[in-house]
Amino acid sequence: MNKVDKKLAESSLENVLKRTRKWFFYAGLFSLFINILMLVPSFYMLQVYDRVMQSRSLETLLFLTILVAVLFVTMGLLQVIRSRVLVRVSNKIDMDLNGKVYDTIFKLARLQPGKVSASPINDLTKLRQYMTGNGVFAFFDAPWFPIYLFVMYLFSPIFAAFTVFAAIVIFSITIINEKSTKKGLEKANSLNNQSSFFLNKNIQNAEIIHALGMHEAIKKKWYDKHLKFLHIQSQASDVAGKWANLSKTSRQFFQSLTYGIGAYLAIKGLISPGTIIAGAVLMGRALAPLDLLTASWKGFAEARSAYGRLNNMLKEFHEKEDNMDLPPPKGELSIERVVVAPPLAKTAVLKGISMKIPKGSVVGLIGTSGSGKSTLARAMLGVWPLMSGTVRLDGADIHKWDTQKLGPYLGYLPQDIELFEGTIAENIARLGEVDAVKVVEAAQIAGVHDMILKFPNGYDTKIGAGGIGLSGGQRQRVGLARAIYKNPIFVVLDEPNSNLDREGEVALASTIKYLKSIGTTVVIISHKTEILLSTDLIAVLKEGMLSMYGKSSEVLVKLGLAKVQPQKEQKSQSSVSLAKPSSEGKR
């Protein structure tokens, strides 16, 4: 694998961990000194029993106690520094990755609708929390086991041999714990994610669930999923708890047994009485990391699973390479042999569509339900990937544009209007910095200014997520204002009059007329014939293919709709007087 391929194969998570590995090295270095200082209690006890008690020297006891106190303070400071290093590293990993994980979630939501949740953010949190918990210290302390083993050997080779035996037993328990709980914990995590995702999706449909009396049925489905999660997790936790307690009990037993072995060796004259206490304390310290590793194995397994999911997700949806900035688009669209299937589907909805949309033209897109109109709209905007073909904006592939830079030049009013939690002004400004002049201008052009002023706080009126607090028609009109905010050069309106009353339709017609006057390219999808009279061109889709495309007057004649005349617009106090666009707004 060459360097380029290897770089592409690595995920953002792997790259971030590589950049932070020096800090893990520092944490390991601190662990070395901490574990050396962990020998202090054993040597202190050895000196007290074998030197102080024999000499009965209070000066020696005082000196040893002061020295031990200084060494313990030093050890405590090193432990604090090590903890802070790991906290800072985990925060840096989170800060470097949270934006990438967030972007990837939304990319997945676009490509795999209905199958994505915020669980990757939770996985990142699990990974960070584990790195700042006690469990991770076991991995830093366990490698220094040879230090303790060497000191135990200096005390007595029998002590050292017994320590090795105890370590093998506890390590074996850890391996058994890993093998017996891995699949169960992974399955439990998967079931928990499914249960949470199911609940979150149905919370969004609370109104229809209430209206149709579906609450108990939905509750039962969620409860069944939740019970499966609880059952699997309980089984895995029971097994993990059994081995963790066995490990802890074994360590305590081995540590106590050390006193017996020490007493035997002392009776035989092979060690001093002080070595009995020192050896037992040192044995406990040597086995502590292994015991902690077993006790925290559940957290480690969850963190490892979270790492695996994050790594696979980021590796599969790696960031695109930065493309060279392109000049601002003008609005000419070219669709070349486009074949599109909805995300997760294998059957194409659009089958070889080709058409050109000149800059500044208004195009009507019509066809029966299921003919592919909304699919074509999403393909035009680069929302859905193409199976084959190309959509070009001003000659450049729409997917080659940086979406953050291209977005302000595009406007989109989908069939299902989604507004966001915040004020009306923030929604019109697309949750960016609110330009009050441009917000009001967009509202006036969309014919919604007077309606907004009637709200209790006008443009500062807060609305809930999804537009809670507004009617369907009001959401559609605010969505229209958002679509034309700052005079985009290309606007797609998908059934823009589906929820509008007569006043709203008049405002919509005026909006389209205004957009045409400033040279904006507009695509309108509608089943209503009257709005087609505002178009220059009409495209007719039939079973995913372009069956007709040409001047509106000619297409309407062929369709037998030429006799339809627009109703006279009634002037009233609610009619919208469009402000003359400023030269800055024109493109």
* Alpha carbon of residue 194 to chain centroid: 16
pLDDT at 11: 61
- The torsion region of residue 5 among left (phi > 0), alpha (psi -120 to 50) and beta comes to alpha
- Element (DSSP H or E) covering residue 397: strand 396-397
The answer to whether 175 touches 295, Cβ cutoff 8 Å, is no
Residue 524 has φ and ψ, to the nearest 5°, of -115, 125
pLDDT at 437: 95
- 3-class DSSP state for residue 533? helix
Mean pLDDT, the chain, whole residue set: 83
Strand extents, DSSP E, 303-367: 333-340, 350-357, 362-367
pLDDT at 583: 35
Return d(Cα 391, Cα 431) in angstroms, integer.
28
Query: What's the pLDDT band for 114 if we cut at 50, 70, 90?
Result: low
Return d(Cα 345, Cα 378) in angstroms, integer.
15
Does residue 478 have a pLDDT over 70? yes
pLDDT at 357: 95
Query: What six digits make up the tokens of 121?
Result: 């953010």
| Average pLDDT score over residue span 26-37 | 89
Query: What's the pLDDT band for 7 if we cut at 50, 70, 90?
Result: very low
| Average pLDDT score over residue span 295-302 | 78
pLDDT at 207: 65
| Average pLDDT score over residue span 319-327 | 65
Other C-beta atoms closer than 10 Å to the C-beta of 413 total 24
Parallel/antiparallel/unpaired status of strands 422-423 and 462-463 = antiparallel
The answer to whether 111 touches 378, Cβ cutoff 8 Å, is no
Query: What's the pLDDT band for 2 if we cut at 50, 70, 90?
Result: very low
Does residue 205 have a pLDDT over 80? no
Other C-beta atoms closer than 10 Å to the C-beta of 135 total 19
| Average pLDDT score over residue span 440-449 | 94
Query: What's the pLDDT band for 218 if we cut at 50, 70, 90?
Result: confident
Distances (CA, A) of 468 to 281, 324, 414, 493: 65, 40, 17, 22
Parallel/antiparallel/unpaired status of strands 521-525 and 490-494 = parallel
Query: What's the pLDDT band for 355 if we cut at 50, 70, 90?
Result: very high
The answer to whether 90 touches 280, Cβ cutoff 8 Å, is no
The answer to whether 81 touches 31, Cβ cutoff 8 Å, is no
Return d(Cα 390, Cα 181) in angstroms, integer.
49
pLDDT digits (tens, 9 = 90+) for 142-186: 888 888 889 889 889 998 999 999 989 988 888 888 788 888 887
Least reliable range by pLDDT among 39-53, 242-256, 373-387, 551-565 = 551-565
Distances (CA, A) of 266 to 49, 259, 273: 13, 10, 6
Strand extents, DSSP E, 406-453: 410-413, 422-423
Domains of the chain: 9-316 (1.20.1560.10), 360-381+402-538+551-581 (3.40.50.300)
| Average pLDDT score over residue span 100-111 | 79
| Average pLDDT score over residue span 291-296 | 76
Maximal C-alpha separation, the chain: 120
pLDDT digits (tens, 9 = 90+) for 574-584: 333 333 333 33
pLDDT at 318: 57
| Average pLDDT score over residue span 405-427 | 89
Query: What's the pLDDT band for 3 if we cut at 50, 70, 90?
Result: very low
